[in-house]
Each structure stands twice: as structure tokens, then as C-alpha cells.
Chains A and B, each alone.
Chain A
Amino acid sequence: MPDSSPHIRNFSIIAHIDHGKSTLADRLLQATNAVSPREAKEQILDSMDLERERGITIKASAVTVWHRHKPGAKADDLETDYEATSDETGEHKVKKGESAEAHGDLYMFNFIDTPGHVDFNYEVSRALKACEGAILVVDSTQGVQAQTLVNAYLAVNENLHIIPVINKIDLPGARPIDVAMEIEQTLGFKAEDCLLVSAKTGQGIPELLASIAEKFPPPRPPVTDALRGLIFDAVYDDYRGVIVYTRIFDGTLKVGDKIRMMGTQRTFLVSDLGKMTPKPVRVKELGPGETGYVVAAIRTLKDVRIGDTVTHEHHPAAEALPGYQPPRQMVFCDFYPSTKEDGESSDFEDLREAVEKLSLNDSSFTFQPVHSEALGFGYRCGFLGLLHMDIIQERLEREGGVEVVQTAPTVSYQIVCRAGTDDIVSPSGQVLKKVIEGMPHYAPPPPGHVLLEVHNPAELPNPSTIMEMREPICRLELMIPKDKIGDIMKLVLDRRGQYKSQSFVSQTRDLLQFEIPLAEIIYDFFDKMKGLTSGYGTMDYEVIAYRPDNLVKMDILVNGEPVEALSVIVHREKAEHRGRALCAKLREQIPRHQFEIPVQAAIGGKVIARETIKAYRKDVLAKCYGGDVSRKRKLLEKQKEGKKRMKNIGAVTIPQEAFMAVLDTGD
């Protein structure tokens, strides 16, 4: 239906977390009668339980709704009280009265949901590539936050038209005028162009619907008759396999078509096409400008790359749509199965099954088997960020039913080594992966050298072979109350941050920009920042480059044995401080044993910090009489359960928390 594309609008809602994105999405769906109030479960676009519990959206999805709009209508004329449905064929019908056209032209709104968190920036930008417009939501009580900016930048980079919306104006603390000024200050939109909305009460919704129709541009006309559809999301369904969400830019996709993924070169037969309204509705074809889902017997998410282009097998497009990048895993940690009660066999098989199953519906985390002397067999996993890591761990335990011991997260490093005839291998014998031109954050090593990737301090080759170590650097944006700027400056500079700029947001807040090593912010930085600003500060970050610094590997020895899972890469100047903090933390967390346990931090065999865990002497309750038996038994049963989460390293039992001790930076 090429002639309908002038009335198609593809857009996303972007916002800082909790600024009301999901409520606004619900309200828009309701206002276009896509969902009845009864069906309007909170945050309807999110589908995973975990997402709903955490109040965040992880996977993007797209919903199509129809809306009548008279071009140029005044706000007073706007109405939304007609009924719209769609049948199996996707044909649209209007059931109220005899002349639906009297309500204006029929618009197809394709509303593409985006994840709200920085870890999922890549997914956000994929979703935005499928849009022409973005609604930027700002909470009228909170104002512009760091994530608002980062999301807005992403939308600007994609050349999207942006409608700024100030939400929650029904709240007593709303200050829409100030917030409009903040938006003007920070993003350059005119304050008077901001729409005032309450997603909760519905105030301002008709005006917003009108703006979507009037301000957002229609999809660009096709530039070729060959099919080109952008895959902007894919979800795994137990019954139908992978469901791909696509935005068609050129050509038409029909049921029965044989398609080819231009990146992976995999081919599939389209068995089903449809749109979510938000109920799934089958359609026979998807034309230029439209979005919808594709079912094509795709078995695993590994067969699909978000950002890839779909074309026809028999009439392929000459060129893929621009901009595919593989997701970048920035944070890594190991998962090991918890030691069982008998201290013997660990169920690595259960973990393997859980990890592989999870990878079916989240292709953005990577995993490879590892073996650690201390912890046995497990997986080294890569994540988009810390939140992503937490989500994966929780889902492994919840959905996979395995209990895992997780090591402290590290970032991915690049090392420069002399190029030889042989591959450079890690101490465990693994060949280290080369970083080559064209890969993200590549900067050429000196002639005669190679650039290698290391995700794990344990993988570092012999230090004498390492010329240089490079670490990921982020651009960090902080929105900070003015009276806390000094504290925040100190926090960032203490962590090797470099000040870049400071700019005015409002009477009370400034925007600070820094460059800082990712390793310095992945642990407790967010909590510290929140603490210093009494919760009012917000932050966002993006990795911009890898840069060399004076980095060293610090080993941790427990009872004289190096525990690779506890080793860290640190800045030389901070090593002693970190080593002392780490040893002190481990002393707290490793329970006393029957013998004294030295805990040492060492660099290249030289001990730089030491603590001693004294041997326990006494562990017995004084009284156990007739009335104490049940209570005491329960107490011991609980201790027994606690043992499950421990790991035996040589003769020492280390609780899971200890592996996170690395998180404590000692500040």
C-alpha cells in the first residue's frame, strides 16, 4: 500500500528511567482505542515478568495503532472517542457512525518501544533507526536528567524529529515552566514547543496525538524496488521460534517469501507476518514505511542480528541498510555453579543448559567455558553493562534454576604485544583474540606489534611480553545539584576522571562532563554519586575509546594460593590502596577456619598488602536444653544452607560475597 505511507508515523518514546515512558505509552494506546482500560495493564509494552518487576523495559517491541486526524485541526476539535479495530487481513474499519472520514484522515502509528537504560544503548539506537520521530519525555518534577540527554543525543544522531513532552504535570510538585527552560538550555528546543502532558490523567494527550501526525515526517519514499527491511528487534518464543521485528524501508515483504539476511547470509521462508495492536494481528504483506513482525522458522537468536537487513532471496537488494554493529560487551564476569553440600560434584551441566537456554532469548550476552582452579568449570560471560549483568544472573537463577557464584565484574582490556610467529596465549593456553582494523575502538599498535583483547585478568600473558595495556574510557555525563559539584568533582578526579566541561541547566543544577576509565565506574560509582547528591544526581556514560595507562595485574593469594577469580587489573599508583582495601574486605568476608589464613595482594610476586584471618577458636552455643532443640536445629539448618553458596579453595571455604569484595574500592 505505497500510497498510504504519507499517513504512516514511526516513532519511539525516549526518557530517563521513571519519567513515565511506559505510562505514556499505555495512555497513547488507550487514546487510540488499541487497548481498553480493562486491558491496560501497567506498562503494557513490556513482556517479561522480570522487566515488570524492575520497572524497566529490556526488549524493544513495536505496536501499530490507527488514529484519525484532521490536518491542521485546532486542539478544541481534537477528539479520540471513536472505535477502531482491525481484522485478520489488517484492513482497518471504523465502526462509529456512518462517516468515519468526518473524523479526519486515517493515520497508522507505529510505536516502537525502546529500552530505557544506558546498558542497552545499542538496542535503543537500533530501535531509533526504524523511526522518523521520537517523543522525549521529561518528568515535570524531576527535570532533565543525564539519561534524558544521552537518549536525546542518540535520537539527534539518527536525524529524528523530536517532540519534547513534559509529563506528570498533574503532580503537586510539577514545575513545567522551569523544566521547559531546562530543556531549552540543555537540548536547544524552544521552551514554548514543549507539550504539557499528564499521562496519568490524559491531559494533553489529544494535542500529543495531533503533533505526532503533524510534526513527525512520513517515511521516506522507497529508493529501490528490492526489499530492504531493518531488523530492529527479535524475541524468542517457545512455540514459534524467533520472532523478528522489522521496519520496511524499500519493497514489500509477503507471506511465503524466501528471505535472506544480508549480514549473516542465512535464508528463511516467511510463514507469518503481522502487527501487534498490541494483540498480534496477521497481515499478508508489509509495505514501505511499515513495521511488523516476521515468523520464519528461525530456531535461535544467534541466526538473527539486530541491525541486519532483510531482503528477498530471489531479488536481493544491492546494498544493505547502513549501520550494523555487533553489540559490544563491555563488562565481564564468571559464573560458576555453587558448591553442593557434600563439597563434591558441582552441576556444571545445569549451568550450561541454563546459559544456553537464556542465550536463545538474549543474544547480547556472550559466554565461553572457563576453568578456574579455584572454582572449577564455569562460564566467562560478557554483558552490555552492569545492569545487564545483574539481569542475566537473576534470570539464570530464576528461570534456569541454578545457583551461581559470580565473580566481580571487570572491563575488557586491550594489550599491545610484540608480534611473533606464534599466537599469544593466556596462562591457561587460550589463544588471545586480536583486535583488528574496523573493529570498534581500534587504534593501531606500533609497527611489529599486535593488539589483543583480554576480558579477564587471569588471561593476561606473561607481563614481560606486554608492551602496553589499554582500557576503555567513557564520556560521563552527570546532572548534579550545584551545591554538590565540589563533592562530585572530587569523586570523579579520585577515580582518574578528567574534567571536560560544565554547563548551566537550571538555577539549581549543572551538567558536568568528564572522561573516565570504565573500570572506575562499574563498581560503586553510581551508589557513591547518588549518596553524595542525596539521590538527586543522575548519570549516564558511553564508551568512546581505549587508552593506555600504567595498569598492572594484582594477584590475591588466600592461604598462599593465588585465586585467579579474585585478581584484578589496577592502576599502578592505586594498587597499594586497592590491595589493602581488598585484603581487609576479604578478612571480613572469609569466615574463620581451623587454621590461620593469610590473605595477600601481590604484583608480579611482590606482596604489597597483607591481612590475616585468625583461626576460629570457638563455635558452640552455650545452652541447648529441652526448649532450645527446635530453634537450635533450625539455626544450624540455616548455616547448612549458607554453606551452599561457598566455594572450597584448597582448604579454605570462601563465600560467594567474597568474590564481590573486589567491588569495594576502599574509598
Chain B
Amino acid sequence: MALAAAPAHARAGSLYLHVPFCFHKCHYCDFYSLVDTRDRQAPFVDRLIEELAALAPSAQRPLQTIFVGGGTPSLLRTDLWERLLAALDRWYDLASIRAGSGEFTVECNPETVTPDLTATLRAGGVTRVSMGAQSFNRTHLKALERWHDPDNVPRALTLARDAGISRASIDLIFAIPGQSLADVEQDLDTALRLGVTHLSCYALTYEPHTAMTARLTRGEFQRADEDLEADMFLLIRERLAAAGLSAYEVSNFARPGEECRHNLAYWRQDSWLAAGPSASGHLAGVRWKNAPRLDDYLASSTDGFAPIVEFEPLDPRRALAERLMTGLRLREGLDEADMLDQAARLDHAAPARLRACAERHRRAGLMHPGPRWALTDSGILIADRAAVEFLAALSP
């Protein structure tokens, strides 16, 4: 059991749940999901509850954030949601979440949101929905093999708001084949008109082993030009900033205070527990990933824990590398003193190398001056390259 490898007193403030069911496998998606032909929803929820019970002792009390992702969590039947939410309430302390200082997000597909579902979620403590809109343009949705009606997005948001779920985010994808700058602008305008306080805008990524990538390789379409993609990226940042939603991460935008606290926990290398097939957890430097196949997940249990396929023990160098990598993606960046202090524990020359690396980025206008390592707008555009430099500076 991976949790045993973490320091004895480590407790996670966050919890991720993975619901693998989908209507249809979207062509760009590389998350673990399946189109369920047998009805395995009930056994899945039973098994998930078992795992949640097993993980609970490693959770902070009260718990700070919960995120339910997928797949399509909103596809889960309402009665099963009720059981799941009751179990969460039983095994975890949801006081902060219910008081509004915590956060409980559920990913939703616009077409699966019903009044029953939103009422159930609200009653169970859900404070936030993340709506997978991707685009409001039917042609572009089709290019992504998404078949929902874009009009369902405002409908679903209204249902959530009416039920008392106060916070909402929309997911958009850009750099879709055939998409123009004006098209992106239109999607942004539509999203802003819906009054959301948080947006995630992802450049379309061609993940290996996805249908989209296979189609690209077969030459069925042309991917967006790198320059156009960069222009879109900058346009989005500009437009949303003007609307009061500033970029706090590479692909995430929020009104002040509306940032996704659960995701910030990932990027700040806080600890989170993970339940459900293919879910990945992190507890005080130890990382693990649950077995991805639903059947394996259902069939196997050790004291309630899921079978694990990946495990990374505590390794200060790796932890610092990951902290640099995710921290550079954040507007808040990284605390220089903290980073140098951690690096000094690895080898005495590492702080000097890292400081020189930061200095190079500052001179090139890629990093802001000051006590934090925070990339500028032009720096964020090349955050991966910056991360490679910092990782290189970290190794002796």
C-alpha cells in the first residue's frame, strides 16, 4: 500500500475521485474512460465507497477540497450519487466545504445535467461545477467528435445555479483544426456572457494513442499552425484579463478568489488522496496511481485499497523537480528562498546553478524580478522550456 510509504503523520487536505463512465469516447481525450455497455455503475460506486473508507484516515479533518473528474461524473445515476455523497459525509469531515471555505467540484457534461442531479449534488455539499463546453461552435465540436448541443451549456449552468451551486467554470479548447482567431474570440464572448467566474482554456493537445492523433497522422486534417496557436493563447489571456478573469495558471483564468483551490493543491505540491480507477494521488512526496481498468479495480481490493500500477517513493530531488515544473506554470510562481533552501539540501552547488538559471530568464524578460520566480507572459508561453532549463540546473 502506497500510503504506508509516506511519513506516518502525513495527511492530505484534498481528495480526487475518478468516475470512468462516458457516453462516447471523445477523440482528443486520453483520460481513462469507458462507454459502459454492461451496467457497472452500482458495483463501481460500492467499490469506490470501500476505497474512500480505507483512505479516510489519511485525510485532514476537516477536508479542504474534493474534485470529482472523469469520464463523465454527471453520467452517474442520481441514486448512486446519493450513496456516494452519503459515504463521503460519513468518512470525511466536510465542515469546511459546507461552510464555504472549502471547495467541492464535480465535472459535468452539459447534456447530462438534470434538476434532480444538481439538487442531489448541492445537498451532498458540492460547491462548484466544471462544465465541459469545449466550444460553442458546432463545426468545431464536430471536429473534436463532441456531439452535444452547445445550447445545453447555459441550460446546465442555470440548473446548477438554481440548485444553489454558486461557483461554475467552463472548459474551452482552442487551436481546433479549422478554428480562426475570430472563432476563439466568439467562444470567449459566449462564455463570458454566461457569467462564469472561472475558465479553463486548453490548447488542443494531440496525445499519443488517441483517435484525434491517429486522424492527424493519417492526414485527415492539418493541425493549427504554431504561430496561430501562440496568437490564440495571447488573445485569450488578453481578452479574459480585460473581463476581470486573469490567468493564474497556463490554462486557467479566474476572478480574484475564484481560482480552483483543488487544482492549486496539485500545482503547489500539496497532498491529495485519490480514489477510483486510474486516479493518481500524492502524499508528502509519495506518488501512486491506481490500476486503470475498471474490471481490475472492481475485482481487486486489499483492505479496501485499490491495486496500484505506478508508485514513486519519496525522493527530494524528484519532488523539487516537480515543484519547479508545476510552480513555473503559476502566476504566483515559486518562492526563491524556499527553492534555494530545498536545493541546498540536495547539493551545495545547486542553489548557485538555479539562481544563475533564474537570472538568465530575468535578463531575457521571461521572469519577473523580485523574491519569487514567476514567469512573465512571454515566459509562460514557453514554460516547458523554462522548466527544462531549471531541471537541468538542478542536476549536478
CB within 8 Å of B: which residues of A?
A: 341-342, 592, 594, 614, 616-627, 629-630, 632-633, 636-637, 639-640, 643
Contact = CB atoms under 8 A, between A and B. Distances in A.
Contacts, number: 102
3 A-B pairs closest in CB distance: A617-B230, A627-B280, A622-B202
A618 B282 contact: no
Nearest to A629: B322
B391 A637 contact: yes
A269 to B, nearest CB: 50
Interface in B355-396: 364, 380-385, 387-388, 391-393, 395
Contact of B266 (A592, A614, A625): A625
A187 to B, nearest CB: 50
B332 interface: no
A625 to B, nearest CB: 6
B305 interface: no
Contact of A620 (B250, B278, B312, B364): B250
15 contacts: A341-B395, A342-B392, A618-B233, A618-B381, A622-B202, A622-B250, A623-B202, A623-B251, A626-B282, A627-B280, A632-B325, A633-B325, A639-B388, A640-B391, A643-B392
B382 A629 contact: no
Contacts of A633: 318, 321-322, 325, 391
Looking at A341, A618, A629, A639, the one whose CB has the most chain B CB atoms below 10 A away is A618
Interface of B: 16, 202-205, 226-227, 229-231, 233, 250-251, 263, 266-267, 272, 274, 278-282, 287, 289, 310, 312, 318, 321-322, 325-326, 329, 353, 364, 380-385, 387-388, 391-393, 395
B383 A640 contact: no
Contacts of B395: 341, 640
A624 B205 CA distance: 12
Given A342-B392, A637-B391, A623 B326 contact: no
Given A620-B382, A636-B384, A627 B279 contact: yes
A618 B280 contact: no
Contacts of A637: 321, 391
A621 B205 contact: yes
A627 B233 CA distance: 24
A614 B272 CA distance: 42
B111 to A, nearest CB: 23
Contacts of A630: 280, 287, 289, 310, 312, 322
Contact of B280 (A592, A614, A621, A626): A626
A619 B391 contact: no
Looking at B233, B380, B388, the one whose CB has the most chain A CB atoms below 10 A away is B388
Looking at B203, B272, B274, the one whose CB has the most chain A CB atoms below 10 A away is B203
Nearest to B356: A342
- Provide the main secondary structure of the chain A interface: loop
A16 to B, nearest CB: 40
Contacts of B364: 594
Contacts of A619: 381-385
Given A626-B282, A629-B266, A620 B392 contact: no
Looking at B278, B364, B380, B387, the one whose CB has the most chain A CB atoms below 10 A away is B387
Looking at A592, A621, A643, the one whose CB has the most chain B CB atoms below 10 A away is A621
Contacts of B353: 342
A637 B392 CA distance: 8
Nearest to A637: B391
Given A342-B353, A626-B266, A617 B326 contact: no
Nearest to B381: A618
A618 B382 contact: yes
A625 B251 contact: no
A627 B263 CA distance: 11
B287 A629 contact: yes
Contacts of A621: 205, 250, 384
Contacts of A636: 325, 384, 387-388, 391
A346 B370 CA distance: 33
A513 to B, nearest CB: 44
B286 to A, nearest CB: 12
A594 B203 CA distance: 20
A342 B226 CA distance: 28
B245 to A, nearest CB: 17
Contact of A626 (B16, B381, B388): B16
A651 to B, nearest CB: 10
Nearest to A638: B388
B278 A624 contact: no
Contacts of B205: 621-623
B384 A627 contact: no
Looking at B227, B312, B384, the one whose CB has the most chain A CB atoms below 10 A away is B384
